[in-house]
Amino acid sequence: MGFIIFVKINFMNWYQKEIKLEARRRGFHIITSEVVNQIPEIKKIKKGILHIFIKHTSASLIINENISPDVRSDMEKHFNKMVPENMTYYDHNSEGPDDMPAHIKTSVLGNSLTIPITDGDLNLGTWQGIYLCEHRNNGGSRKLVFTIFGEE
Amino acid sequence: MGFIIFVKINFMNWYQKEIKLEARRRGFHIITSEVVNQIPEIKKIKKGILHIFIKHTSASLIINENISPDVRSDMEKHFNKMVPENMTYYDHNSEGPDDMPAHIKTSVLGNSLTIPITDGDLNLGTWQGIYLCEHRNNGGSRKLVFTIFGEE
Amino acid sequence: MGFIIFVKINFMNWYQKEIKLEARRRGFHIITSEVVNQIPEIKKIKKGILHIFIKHTSASLIINENISPDVRSDMEKHFNKMVPENMTYYDHNSEGPDDMPAHIKTSVLGNSLTIPITDGDLNLGTWQGIYLCEHRNNGGSRKLVFTIFGEE
């Protein structure tokens, strides 16, 4: 007696973890290595997505140039001009002059990233790095949620 | 006669629905409860993602501070300054002075959100809420597509 | 002798591919057809997501109005005013006056898109199209990574 069962399954895996980044000064900071070191699980994923979410409304996440420190300091200078402190029309000032601009910058830049995973690595371009953008003078530690999903 | 079949399966579920939000006046509006009430399916998801997509080019979705009404009105004031009406270089004016600024604001702020789901709930920070940003004077009802995917 | 095995499986499929877009002049360009033609795999997806990622730090991806060419040219004019060239505070000038503004515009607009797939088609609104925003004077060919995932 014999029989065969065919089952076509694409194995799908989900990993999720919350981490705390150490407090950083106001400005734009590269955190690519710190992120990658926290998620060895991506090595198992053949095709998938890394989702990074920051659980705050005064710090943001972007992908930008990963070599020149001038790009990060020029970003800080430009966003301070584009979203100035102490505008007379701000009513939300209870936590200081950096409070409302931090909320605005966060929504201009965004609070999540989605990055393709290919053959166990983040599929970033040669010049792309992950930035934490700290918009408060004393933002403290920041919480990130990583969600990794894909096909093994 | 006996045999055993081992099958390792991570159950993956997909839910998708389109809803209409009631018309809102121009400005920044918190819609977190309205969103969560429409998607009881997230309670079944242990680890996953909620994707929200707005099917329009003159209204946007962001995550920002969920208590102070001043944050929402300061946002409206600041984006009206950052993207003013009636600039002489606008050629796209057929639907009124709020038309072209609405398109620009939409792309500065974005038309989709991805939020982690953890143990049946949106994994938002304490101060985070979901905003509908209505950039038209009379934008009318707005359509959203929710896509929920994750591991049960 | 007889037996039945019930296995509830939601078939999940992942497709991923990298493509090169031909070089385009600086400005905002609709690429919806070019994208859709490259990913016939979406026809197989009943409920899912298309993720598009641009592997560069000086060009971006947005969704905006898909008819009027004036929207695209007004966007270019407005972002050139919002993020001007030759600001005295820019230190990152090695590749020309369009270099640093291109980095800033990229992070204001974003380098990935997530679009719902419903019944084998992108579930875009009537007036929504996919834009490549080329922020360099001579950006050359641009690489995109498509990741498609969902339920068949």
Q: Is the pLDDT of residue B54 over 70?
A: yes
Q: Please tell me which chains touch C, using 3 or more CB pairs under 8 Å as the contact test.
A: A, B
- pLDDT score, position C7: 55
Q: What ipTM, to 2 d.p.?
A: 0.93
- Which DSSP helix (H) or strand (E) runs through B39? none
Shortest distance between the Cα of A91 and any Cα of chain C, in A, equals 24
- Distance (Å) from the alpha carbon of A127 to chain C's nearest alpha carbon: 7
pLDDT digits (tens, 9 = 90+) for A76-129: 999 999 999 999 999 999 899 999 999 999 999 999 999 999 999 999 999 999
% of chain C surpassing 70 pLDDT:
93
pLDDT, tens only, B117-126 = 999 999 999 9
Band (pLDDT 50/70/90 cuts) for residue C136 is very high
Of B47, B73, B150, Cβ closest to residue A91: B73
pLDDT digits (tens, 9 = 90+) for A11-44: 678 999 999 999 999 999 999 999 999 999 999 9
**C15 in A contact zone (CB under 8 Å):** yes
Contact B47 A147 (CB under 8 A): yes
For the stretch C114-129, pLDDT in tens is 999 999 999 999 999 9
- Judging contacts by C-beta atoms under 8 Å, the chain C residues touching residue B14 are 10, 46-48, 150-151
What integer pLDDT is reported at residue A60 of this predicted model? 98
How many angstroms separate the CA atoms of C67 and A132, rounded?
36
Q: What is the dihedral of CA C30, A125, A132, B110, to 10 degrees?
A: 10
Q: What is the number of other CB atoms lying within 10 angstroms of the CB of residue B26?
A: 17
